[in-house]
Amino acid sequence: MNQRDNNNRPLDVQKTEDAAHTIFEIYSRTDYSTCVEVFLEFISAFGIKNFTILETDLGCRQRDVMLAHSWDDRWRSFCLQSRHLHHDPLLAMIERDHGAFTLSERMDAPRVCADTTQILQRFSAFGWKDALCVPIHRGGLRYGVASLISARRISAEDKAQLTAAAFAFHQRLRCLAPKEGFRTPPAGLGADEIDCLRLLATGLSDVKAGEMLGLGGGAVHAHIESAKQKLAAQNRAELVSLAHSLAIIA
């Protein structure tokens, strides 16, 4: 018999309505903090409080851009012990399947990969039962990624609602983070480097960009060269392309 809520509606119907409402609220928010609050409130109903939202290039992980994260002490401790503080352990599994997946789904597959078993063993030691990874393919090896860590197994119904909300949350943060500023330096870039990148993207020369920023042309050039190194860009055109793709600049 299907479980029902206090209004005698099937719980899966309630969750679908809650997810639709959450998505509406996410897209309605015009600032970063309240957008995060809406998402956290939604996922907490599923027993989830640890998440990571980022842009990544699986072929060059130094380009990782953290858009948002919520980590409790247990998850932070797990990441430190597993050497995954800045590298989500779920990312290694994305290339095999571009769609959203849970660890429990991978464990139920006919052939279980060694890395899946290893991650679940580590998770279990810290009290977690499952995880959801929502990859958003940008082209090549570049992805937007939302990963959520759960204290209980994620059902197919819950996966559908969480995936929809996580996708909306990720897309909204891509718009808000570049405008409001990043809580974690994207790919290690400093504020001056990002400011110079934004002006470079508009076609300004180093001298003109420097005039707008109160810097000399040489200083702007140095910031651009530093940004090229951090993003492993071969030239300025690739640098700007990467900055847009990774949501460093809008």
> What percentage of residues in the chain have a pLDDT greater than 90?
61
What average pLDDT does range 155-178 have in this prediction? 96
**What is the tens place of the pLDDT at every residue in 71-114?**
888 777 776 666 555 556 677 778 666 689 998 888 777 776 67
The DSSP letter of residue 137 is E
Going across the sheet that includes 65-70, the strands are 65-70, 48-57, 142-150, 130-139, 101-102
- Residues linked to residue 143 through DSSP beta bridges, in sequence order: 56, 137
Which residues 6+ apart lie within 8 Å of 53 measured at CB? Answer: 66, 67, 68, 69, 145, 146, 166, 169, 170, 173
What average pLDDT does range 123-128 have in this prediction? 78
- Residues linked to residue 70 through DSSP beta bridges, in sequence order: 51
Q: Is the pLDDT of residue 136 over 50?
A: yes
**Alpha carbon distances (Å) from 6 to 9, 11, 14, 205:** 7, 10, 10, 63
**Alpha-carbon span 5 to 49, nearest angstrom:** 23
Nearest residue to 221 (alpha-carbon basis) of 210, 231, 230, 212: 210
Q: Is the pLDDT of residue 67 over 90?
A: yes
**Alpha-carbon span 66 to 19, nearest angstrom:** 24
pLDDT at 1: 45
Helix axes 191-201, 236-245, angle to 10 degrees: 110
Q: Which two tokens stand for residue 102?
A: 């849970």
pLDDT at 12: 58
Q: Give this prediction's pTM.
A: 0.85
What average pLDDT does range 61-74 have in this prediction? 88
Contact yes or no for 249/179 (Cβ under 8 A) = no
Q: Which two tokens stand for residue 115?
A: 């890395």
